[in-house]
């Protein structure tokens, strides 16, 4: 499987060329997994994007409090009910 850099799609995302040589051991071990890993550097995450927009709107201190609370109480969704 050849994982050469792809041309730009015009959306500002570029193939991470720094990974191409460093990814050779992963490609040798598991070509499919390595290709999937690189492919995921080119796709968005709508849920994470929305979360980051919400964090931007409430500022760094409150964002930090919410992120910490989510990690500390990861099994307790009620701790995040009142968050954006």
14-65 pLDDT tens trace: 555 655 567 788 888 999 998 888 888 778 888 888 888 989 999 999 899 8
- Considering the domain architecture, whether residues 39 and 50 belong to the same structural domain is answered as no
Shared domain for 31 and 58, answered yes or no, is no
Is 63 strand, coil or helix?
Answer: helix
CB–CB of 3/34 below 8 Å?
yes
Residue 63 is part of which domain span? Answer: 46-80
Q: Is 17 helix (H, G, I), strand (E, B) or coil?
A: coil
- CA 1-29-27 angle, 5° bins: 35
Shared domain check, 53 and 34: no
Instruction: Give mean pLDDT, residues 62-83.
Output: 81
**Same domain? 35 vs 3:** yes
Q: Above 80 in pLDDT, residue 5?
A: no
- Residues with Cβ within 8 Å of residue 1, at least 6 apart in sequence: 27, 31, 32, 35
């Amino acid at each position: 499987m050849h994982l050469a850099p792809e041309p730009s799609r015009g959306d500002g995302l570029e193939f991470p060329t720094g990974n191409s040589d460093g990814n050779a051991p992963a490609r040798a071990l598991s070509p499919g997994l390595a290709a999937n890993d690189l492919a995921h550097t080119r796709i968005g995450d709508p849920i994470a994007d929305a979360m980051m927009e919400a964090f931007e709107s409430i500022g760094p201190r409150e964002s930090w409090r919410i992120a910490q609370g989510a990690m500390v109480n990861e099994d307790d969704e009620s701790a995040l009910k009142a968050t954006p």
